[in-house]
Amino acid sequence: MKKSRISVIGMGFVGLSLAVVNAHANFEIIGVESNKEKLANLRRGKTDFYEPNLSKYLNESLKKNKISFTENLDEVKNTDITFITVGTPSTKDGKIDLSSLKKVISGLYKVLKNKQAKHLVVIKSTVVPTTTSTVIAPMLKKLKNVSIAVNPEFLREGSALNDLIHPHLIVIGCVDDKNCKVLETYYKQFYKTMPDIINTDYTTAEMIKYANNAFLATKISFINSIANICQKLPLVDVNTIARAIGKDPRIGSQFLQAGPGFGGSCLPKDLSALIKFTDKFHDLNSFFKAVENVNQLQTSQVIQMLKSMKLFDSKKIIAVLGLAFKKDTDDLREAVSIKLVKNLLKKRLNINVHDPMAIENFKKIFGDKVSYYTKITDCIKNAHCCIILTEWDDYKKLNPSILKKNMKELNIIDARRILDPSKFKEFNFKAIGLGPR
């Protein structure tokens, strides 16, 4: 069976990951991107964000001529399936911004109205429930050759390619079985062993994505709420509690790592969009508002620890280890580091920062307001406190002797719970979810 020809519109995190994985699997891929600078870089095999193996897959696919990039939407006509992966960011008031998506759909209408052959448009962009049926479908309804499917993604930054190659589930939302079968046929071409598939309607597929992310956000805010209680109780460690309840098959261990709050491109944005979308249902979203509120207040736990250490002095140096919202990415969207550093600068503290991947992105935000270091030992040199904000593997290797040799005062805040407190008895060691020793 001849493989489907694929176009992907929007070369962000989801779109580029999807495009290179398909090209790596020997599909012919056209990536559509309107940003000329990004387009030029992609043609040279250069990505504008870090994701494990992404650059490798991209360059291999370019050499094999399996992937090409264009700003010309007309080239979509030469494919069978178009995946739309443009961003749906939050507006200032937290609602979903559909302007980029609407622009793409409008452009697709002009391109596909002259095409005779069947064409499937697949919505991978995250959209609030009813968007496809009330916004997207009406814009394309005059095109009898065009069908639509909603196909949400469940990718984790830092493991996106692996999640595409080994998905836990595929959700396909359609108005009729024929459309679903077209997309299923594509997936049968991609996977040797088919993942589980749930076939449903547009709105249910859209709601599955929001329910998924809202539940993950809930687990994080839940364990952080427990962690904040643990900090008030002598000798109580939230890690032990999380390990225990995670053994319960009804709960599971994932997303029960206490920390300074969740960030990234999905959970904060999608939770906010869900809350704004459901405001019209009055009190039905009070639970999700509580989840969001816990997360927004979580950074204050680190601030309170610094205050208890009596470190609010303009002469003090604070070393921040970890800027990205999680390891194995350079993504700073909704990162705790940004909120924390802004607060510390207001206290007129001197800030040193280190991160294996996100330094350049951090410079774009803070410029010369903070000091940047490529070596951990240089970052903590003469520091009065070391704060670990991201769970990078290099930070897990920190030992008391390295810190004692370089720091001016032995204060540590382990916001990610990656160090063993028993090894730092000589230090003023504080950690989220760790009660007084």
The catalytic residues are 266
Which amino acid would we find at residue 272?
S
DSSP per residue over 377-415, as a string? HHHHTT-SEEEE-S--HHHHT--HHHHHHH-SS-EEEET
- Nearest Cα to 55, choosing from 332, 357, 265, 264? 357
- Residues 6 or more apart whose Cβ sits within 8 Å of residue 364: none
CA 42, 46, 51, 56 dihedral sign is positive
Contact 381, 350 (CB under 8 A): no
**Rounded to a whole number, what is the distance in angstroms from the first to the last CA of the chain?**
65
Strands 29-32 and 67-70: parallel
> Residue 200's beta-bridge partner residues?
173
Burial 136-159 (b: 16+ CB within 10 A, else e): bbeebeebeebbbbbbbbbbebbe
Q: How far is the C-alpha of 316 from the C-alpha of 348, rounded, in Å?
A: 9
Q: What are the E-state strand segments in 55-191? A: 67-70, 81-84, 119-123, 146-150, 170-173
